[in-house]
Structure formats: C-alpha cells, structure tokens
Amino acid sequence: MELKREISRVLYLAIREKYERGWYRDAILAAITCLENCIREKANFERDQILINPESCFHRAFGNIDPLIKINERTAIAHLYEQQGFAQIVLGIHQGIRTPRIHGELCDDEKTTNTIIVFIDYLIQRIQAANG
C-alpha cells in the first residue's frame, strides 16, 4: 500500500517526515495529534483542553444530548448510536493507541501504522464533514 495515495494530503503532510524515515510510532502520534487538532478546531476547544481532560472533551464533542460536532442528522436511533460510538472511538484512540506510545517503548511496523493512520484519516474526514 502506498499510504500517500490512501489518505488526505493534510494528514500525509502531518506525518510525512516521520513516516518516510520509518519512525512509525511517531507517525502514528502525529496522526493522532492531527485528529485531535481537527476535533479541537471543530468544537472550539482551547489549545490544551483535550490533553487535560480528553474523556470530557470527547463526550462534549460527540456524545452528549446536544453534541458540539454532529456526525449525522440524528433523526434515528442508529444515528444516536453512531454519534455515541464516535465519542468512544476517539477516546479509545487516545487511551488505547496514543497513551501506550507516549508512555512506553512500542515499536510499530509499517502495516500496523498504515492501518491506524488510514482509520484516523476516515475519522478526520467524517469530522470535517460534520455539522458543528
């Protein structure tokens, strides 16, 4: 897979240097930072607000009664589940992918990196297309 062709230009530019040098852990972290910046901008959060309290921010952005970022039109129960799922997915990426790489010595390979980054690109595209 040629990752450059699979993801948005903005995301590729954010990860390019690290990815092309084979610093896969750092490329994943750069992609997560890009995702969190997208959420921060769309939800009008303060610069470090997500880092201080990610669970609260992601819940406010996606999961509450009147989310700041509306992934869909919220007219059916499935839409509400999708909206809540987005909050859980983004928190899961923060806790389950970002945190172990920040605080540990994980060594990611190219395949794992590609998989994670393509999924992050999907999330970024959905957020950018969302109302909010």
Share of the chain above pLDDT 70, in %: 100
What is the distance between the alpha carbons of residues 132 and 119, in angstroms, rounded to a whole number? Answer: 22
- For residue 56, is pLDDT > 90? yes
Cα-atom radius of gyration of the chain, to the nearest Å?
A: 15
Q: Please choose, from the candidates 30, 28, 83, the residue with its C-alpha nearest in 3D space to the C-alpha of residue 61.
A: 83
- For residue 44, is pLDDT > 80? yes
For residue 64, the model assigns a pLDDT of: 75
Which tokens go with 113? Answer: 């990196």
What is the value of pTM for the model shown?
A: 0.94
Asked if 15 and 104 count as a contact pair (C-beta separation under 8 A), the reply is no
The number of residues making up the chain comes to 132
Render pLDDT for 13-25 as a digit per residue (tens, 0 to 9).
999 999 999 999 9
